Amino acid sequence: MDFSARLKELESFERKDNKASLSSMLKQNGFTRRDFLKYSSAMAAMLGLSSTFAPTIAKAIELADRLPVIWLHMAECTGCSESLLRSDAPTIDSLIFDYINLEYHETIMAASGFQAESNLENAMKKHKGKYILMVEGAIPAGQSSFYLTLGAHAKKGEEIAKQACNNAAAIFAIGACSSFGGIQAAAPNPTNAMPLSKITNKAVINVPGCPPSEKNIVGNVLHYVLYGTLPALDNYNRPKWAYENRIHDLCERRGHFDAGEFVQSFGDEGAKKGYCLYKVGCKGPYTFNNCSKLRFNQHTNWPIGAGHGCIGCSEPDFWDNMGPFEEPLKSHLFKSISADATSDKIGIGVLTLTGLTIAAHAVISSVKKD
Amino acid sequence: MQKIVVDPITRIEGHLRVEVVVDDNNVVKEAYTGSTLWRGIETIVKNRDPRDVGFMTQRICGVCTYSHYRAGIEAVENALGIIPPKNAKLVRTLMNAALYLHDHCVHFYQLHGLDFVDVVSALSADVKKAEEEALKWCDKPLACGVGDLQAVKEKLKNFVDKGDLGPFANAYWGHKTYRFSPEQNLIALSHYLECLKIQRTAAQLTAIFGAKQPHPQSLTVGGVTCVMDILDPSRIGEFKTKFLEVSDFVHRAYLADIKMAASVYKNEASVMNDIGVDNFMCAKEFYLGDEYLFEGGVLLNVLSNPTLSEIDESAITEEATHSWYKNDAALHPYDGEQEPHYTGFKDEKTLDENAKLVDTKVFDTEGKYSWIKAPRYKGLPVQVGPIATILINYFKKNPIVVKEVDALLKELNIELKDLLSTLGRTAARMIEAKIVSENALKALDSLVENLKVDDSTCAAYVIDKNKEYKGRFIGNAPRGMLSHWVRIKDGVVSNYQAVVPSTWNASPKDAKKQMGSYEACIIGLKIADLTKPLEIIRKIHSYDPCIACAVHVFDKKGNELGRYKVGV
Which residue stretches of B467-533 are H helix? 501-505, 517-522
For residue B350, give how far its alpha carbon lies from the nearest alpha carbon of chain A (Å).
9
Model pLDDT, residue B168: 85
Return d(Cα A287, Cα B188) in angstroms, integer.
44
| Least confident span in A96-110, A349-363, B244-258, B339-353 | A349-363
State the first-to-last Cα distance of chain A, in angstroms, to the nearest integer. 54
Return d(Cα B75, Cα A79) in angstroms, integer.
23
Return d(Cα A242, Cα B317) in angstroms, integer.
47
A116: chain B residues, CB-CB within 8 Å: 8, 10, 170
Question: Catalytic residue among B64, B105, B138, B195, which?
Answer: B64
Q: Do residues B358 and B352 lie in contact, with contact meaning Cβ atoms separated by under 8 Å?
A: yes
- Contact criterion met (CB < 8 Å) for A303 and B213: no
pTM: 0.91
Q: One-letter amino acid identity for A202?
A: K
**B57 contacts: CB under 8 Å, gap ≥ 6:** B41, B45, B68, B69, B71, B72, B484, B496, B498
| Chain A: residue whose CA lies nearest to B17 | A151
Return d(Cα B51, Cα B463) in angstroms, integer.
10
Average pLDDT over residues B513-536: 97
Model pLDDT, residue B336: 77
- CA nearest A209: which of A139, A156, A288? A288
| Least confident span in A10-24, A174-188, A254-268, B194-208 | A10-24
Q: Do residues B235 and B208 lie in contact, with contact meaning Cβ atoms separated by under 8 Å?
A: yes
Return d(Cα B456, Cα B447) in angstroms, integer.
11
Return d(Cα B504, Cα B545) in angstroms, integer.
11
- CA nearest B487: which of B556, B560, B562? B556
For residue A267, give how far its alpha carbon lies from the nearest alpha carbon of chain B (Å).
5
Sheet holding B307-309, edge to edge: B280-282, B297-300, B307-309
Nearest CB partner across the interface for B560, out of A75, A188, A271: A188
Nearest CB partner across the interface for B196, out of A94, A118, A189: A94
Nearest CB partner across the interface for A326, out of B169, B218, B220: B220
- CA nearest B130: which of B147, B117, B142, B144? B144
Q: pLDDT (tens digit, 9 = 90+) per residue, A280-332?
A: 999 999 999 999 999 999 999 999 999 999 999 999 999 999 999 999 986 44
- Contact criterion met (CB < 8 Å) for B200 and A308: no
**Is residue A34's pLDDT more than 60?**
yes
Sheet holding B2-6, edge to edge: B2-6, B16-22, B28-35
Residue A190 preceded by cis peptide, ω within 30: no
Q: Do residues B134 and B187 lie in contact, with contact meaning Cβ atoms separated by under 8 Å?
A: yes
Q: Is B13 on the interface with A (CB under 8 A)?
A: yes
Residue B8 preceded by cis peptide, ω within 30: yes
- CA nearest B209: which of B91, B93, B101? B91
- In the structure, what pLDDT confidence band is assigned to residue A1 with cuts at 50, 70 and 90? very low
For residue A349, give how far its alpha carbon lies from the nearest alpha carbon of chain B (Å).
28
Q: Reply yes or no on whether B15 is catalytic.
A: no
Model pLDDT, residue B482: 98
Return d(Cα A102, Cα A131) in angstroms, integer.
10
Average pLDDT over residues B98-111: 96
Q: pLDDT (tens digit, 9 = 90+) per residue, A132-185?
A: 999 999 999 999 999 999 999 999 999 999 999 999 999 999 999 999 999 999
B61: chain A residues, CB-CB within 8 Å: 77-79
What is the DSSP-derived secondary structure letter of residue A357? Answer: H
Model pLDDT, residue A229: 74
- CA nearest B511: which of B301, B334, B280, B328? B328
A211: chain B residues, CB-CB within 8 Å: 62, 214-215
Return d(Cα A196, Cα A161) in angstroms, integer.
8
* SS3 track for B391-458: HHHHHCCCHHHHHHHHHHHHHHCCCHHHHCCHHHHHHHHHHHHHHHHHHCHHHHHHHHHHHCCCCCCE
Model pLDDT, residue B462: 95
- Contact criterion met (CB < 8 Å) for A103 and B169: yes
Nearest CB partner across the interface for B456, out of A150, A188, A267: A267
Residue contacts between A and B (CB atoms, under 8 Å): 319
Complex confidence, ipTM: 0.94
Q: Reply yes or no on whether B144 is catalytic.
A: no
Q: Do residues A300 and B204 lie in contact, with contact meaning Cβ atoms separated by under 8 Å?
A: yes
Helix (H, G, I), strand (E, B) or coil at B62: coil
- How are the residues of chain B apportioned to helix, strand and coil, as percentages rounded to the nearest 5? 45, 20, 40
- Contact criterion met (CB < 8 Å) for A77 and B61: yes
Nearest CB partner across the interface for B7, out of A16, A83, A150: A150
- Pick the more confident residue, A231 or B436: B436
- CA nearest B552: which of B81, B35, B7, B103? B35
Mutate to test the interface with A, among B2, B3, B5, B7 (most CBs of A within 10 A): B7
For residue A345, give how far its alpha carbon lies from the nearest alpha carbon of chain B (Å).
30
The number of angstroms, rounded, from the C-alpha of A42 to the middle of its chain's C-alpha atoms is 18
Q: Is A79 on the interface with B (CB under 8 A)?
A: yes
**Is residue A340's pLDDT more than 70?**
no
Tell me whether strands A68-73 and A101-104 are parallel, antiparallel or unpaired: parallel
Q: pLDDT (tens digit, 9 = 90+) per residue, A173-224?
A: 999 999 999 999 999 999 999 999 999 999 999 999 999 998 898 888 777 7
Average pLDDT, chain B: 94
Q: Reply yes or no on whether B35 is catalytic.
A: no
Which residues on adjacent β-strands are paired with residue A68? A101
Give the rounded percent of residues in chain A with a pLDDT score beyond 90. 59
Model pLDDT, residue A338: 40
Q: pLDDT (tens digit, 9 = 90+) per residue, A10-30?
A: 555 544 444 444 455 556 656
Q: Is A287 on the interface with B (CB under 8 A)?
A: no
Model pLDDT, residue A247: 97
> Concatenated DSSP letters for B189-252?
HHHHHHHHHHHHHHHHHHHHHHSSSSS---EETTEES-HHHHT-HHHHHHHHHHHHHHHHHIII
For residue B226, give how far its alpha carbon lies from the nearest alpha carbon of chain A (Å).
4
Q: Is A227 on the interface with B (CB under 8 A)?
A: no
Average pLDDT, chain A: 81
Model pLDDT, residue B332: 96
